[in-house]
Structure 1
Amino acid sequence: MSFVDKTIIVTGASSGIGAATAKRFLSLGAKVLLVARNREQMEEMFSSYDSNQYRIYPFDLTKLDQINTFVSDIIRKEGPIDIVFNNAGISQFGYFEDSDLSVVNKIMKLDYFSVVNPFPKLFYLI
């Protein structure tokens, strides 16, 4: 599959698997829309790439009530999206019974609901 002239959203793009995947898509000729909370980290991570090939969209995906507007704004600015690589996520190490419920809630918001909630909107708009 050719990624040339494809527009791809990568969440969790500021580090780890998300950054590595975004870099790979860039090397294959895709236009990559980078999404993560930390703009500065993404700017530093991708400074060696052609800035015409990517866009940085800082956003906290745990803000579930704002995701649909965020996605709509991206599509309005960038045009159709060909691929969404949902990679944003957090974890906590330790025993479940020792977990603070607010931490578990934050993990579920980012790891599950931030992926599931925008799907109807994404499928309609893509």
Structure 2
Amino acid sequence: MSKFIIQVNSAAYGNAASYSAYRFAKSALESGHSIDKIFFYQDGVLNTNYLNSPASDEFDLMQAWIELHNQYGTALVNCVSAALRRGVMSESDAKESGHGHWNMQAPFIMGGLGELVIGIESADRLVCF
């Protein structure tokens, strides 16, 4: 079985890349492969915005990522620089910068590109969407 790192570069809605990343990750895990982490980069950090509100008849991709984490324990890591530039903040980042609100919460966490690089070194494959 393979060990993957998944890199998500596209926003949750607007094209199918993030949904494809989710379906790939879910299928890989169901098939017995492991995923060290799912790294949200560039516009991919918008997947983790708690304020995303899809219509009731649309697929809720953010909730799907959370359920994937809850079922398999896969780390969901936002690139902190990309997230902050796009207005996605964790509670600790909001407090550090004096903002009273944040829009990213557990199980999503902030991390740097170093985490991605270290993960790539130990993974069999990096798959980007």
TM-score class, shorter-chain normalisation, is: 0.3 to 0.5
Q: Which structure has the higher relative contact order (CA within 8 Å, separation 6+)?
A: 2
Richer in helix (by share): 1
Instruction: Give me the TM-score of the superposition, normalised by structure 1.
Output: 0.44
Richer in strand (by share): 2
